[in-house]
Amino acid sequence: MRTMTGSGKRVVVIYDAAAGSTVYRIAVDIAAKAWDAGCGVRVRRLGESTEDVGMTSLSEWLDAVEDAVDIPEARPDDLEWATHALILSSEDRSGRRLRRVS
């Protein structure tokens, strides 16, 4: 899912792909709801980090990497583009706060 345009309201959803494929699906669901509400939407992921591989099982991490293939990495201009909301994933599947988002 790339940038979708809508009304003047713009929402950016940034998630950590290393947190697992469930976080990816939540990010996409949030983006779809914002789109349905008439907002322009961008879904972005944090860049890869070998530090975070240990936060999930290898199979979950590989699934998350596969999900994220077509999702651009978040950049500073994404923060400027978001006129209405910026949504960040902040926990992994175990409820631990992600260091890279903190």
CATH number of the domain at 45, please.
Answer: 3.40.50.360
Domain annotation covers residue 57? yes
As a whole number of angstroms, the distance between CA 7 and CA 20 comes to 31
Q: pTM for this one?
A: 0.72
Domain annotation covers residue 3? no
Mean pLDDT across the chain:
76
> Closest Cα to residue 81, out of 36, 54, 44, 53?
44
Paired strand residues for 95? none
Domain annotation covers residue 16? yes
The pair of structure tokens assigned to 52 is: 């975070």
- Pairing assessment for the beta strands 10-15 and 85-88 based on DSSP bridges: parallel
Region of residue 73 (phi > 0: left; psi between -120 and 50: alpha; otherwise: beta): beta
Report the 10 Å Cβ neighbour count for 20.
24
Domain annotation covers residue 80? yes
Domain annotation covers residue 37? yes
Q: How many domains does the chain have?
A: 1
pLDDT above 70 covers a percentage of the chain that reads: 64
As a whole number of angstroms, the distance between CA 78 and CA 70 comes to 16
Highest mean pLDDT among 47-56, 76-85, 91-100: 76-85
Q: Domain containing 27: what range?
A: 10-88
pLDDT given for residue 2 in this prediction? 47
